[in-house]
């Protein structure tokens, strides 16, 4: 094999190799994007379902909307009692949502993280004179493939308080 033949072969191999790298890169990128997008959608749907299910059984008079501490966004925490007087909090700390519960007669609170990658959580009344309806808004945001690519999902739902 001559040097020229060797160079031609290497050039061709190089082109093919470059194409393969780009292809694999695209596939990986696509997979990462899809996983990230599905992830935030799943988290949003799951968190919203948990919150809605609990709030629906709330005693209207027990509801308090504020925030966990002064470093958190406004209206990002809700407290209420359900029909059995179990006490429940949903609140935001940074990029996470927590649920804190205390069953009637139990001495201590149980806290668990229900979602991360949170971007926005707000509980608000359309009209504070009407305690029947609470609007729950939450947004999840995930950064993937470097800091320039974000995947987010925003959901807003009204929940009717039944008690």
Q: Distance between CA atoms of 19 and 41, rounded to whole angstroms?
A: 33
Q: How far is the CB of 143 from another protein (least distance, A)?
A: 12
Q: How far is the CB of 106 from another protein (least distance, A)?
A: 23
For another protein, the closer of residues 33 and 101 by Cβ is 33
Residues that bind another protein (CB under 8 A): 2, 5, 12, 15-16, 19-20, 22-23, 26-27, 29-30, 33-34, 37, 41, 61-66, 71-75, 93-95, 118-120, 122, 124-133, 135, 137-139, 141, 152-158, 160
Query: Within 13 Å and on the Cβ side, how many CA atoms surround 87?
Result: 13
For another protein, the closer of residues 2 and 147 by Cβ is 2
For another protein, the closer of residues 13 and 106 by Cβ is 13
For the chain, the residue count is 163
Name residue, tokens 């299910």: 53
CB-count burial class (<10 Å; 0-12, 13-18, 19+) for 86 = middle
In 12-117 the beta strands, taken as DSSP E runs, fall at: 64-66, 77-81, 87-93, 96-102, 110-115
For another protein, the closer of residues 101 and 125 by Cβ is 125
Q: How far is the CB of 114 from another protein (least distance, A)?
A: 17
């Amino acid at each position: 094999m001559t040097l020229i033949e060797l160079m031609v072969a290497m050039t061709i191999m190089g082109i093919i190799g470059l194409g393969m790298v780009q292809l694999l890169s695209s596939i990986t990128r696509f997979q990462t994007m899809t996983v990230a997008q599905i992830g935030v959608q799943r988290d949003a749907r799951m968190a919203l379902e948990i919150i809605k299910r609990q709030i629906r059984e709330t005693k209207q008079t027990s509801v308090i909307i504020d925030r966990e501490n002064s470093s958190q966004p406004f209206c990002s925490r809700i407290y209420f009692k359900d029909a059995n007087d179990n006490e429940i909090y949903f609140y935001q700390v940074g990029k996470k949502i927590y649920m804190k519960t205390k069953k009637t007669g139990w001495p201590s609170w149980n806290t668990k993280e229900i979602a991360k990658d949170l971007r926005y959580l707000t509980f608000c009344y359309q009209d504070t004179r009407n305690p029947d309806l609470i609007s729950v808004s939450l947004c999840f945001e995930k950064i993937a493939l470097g800091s320039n690519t974000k995947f987010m999902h925003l959901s807003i739902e009204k929940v009717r308080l039944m008690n």
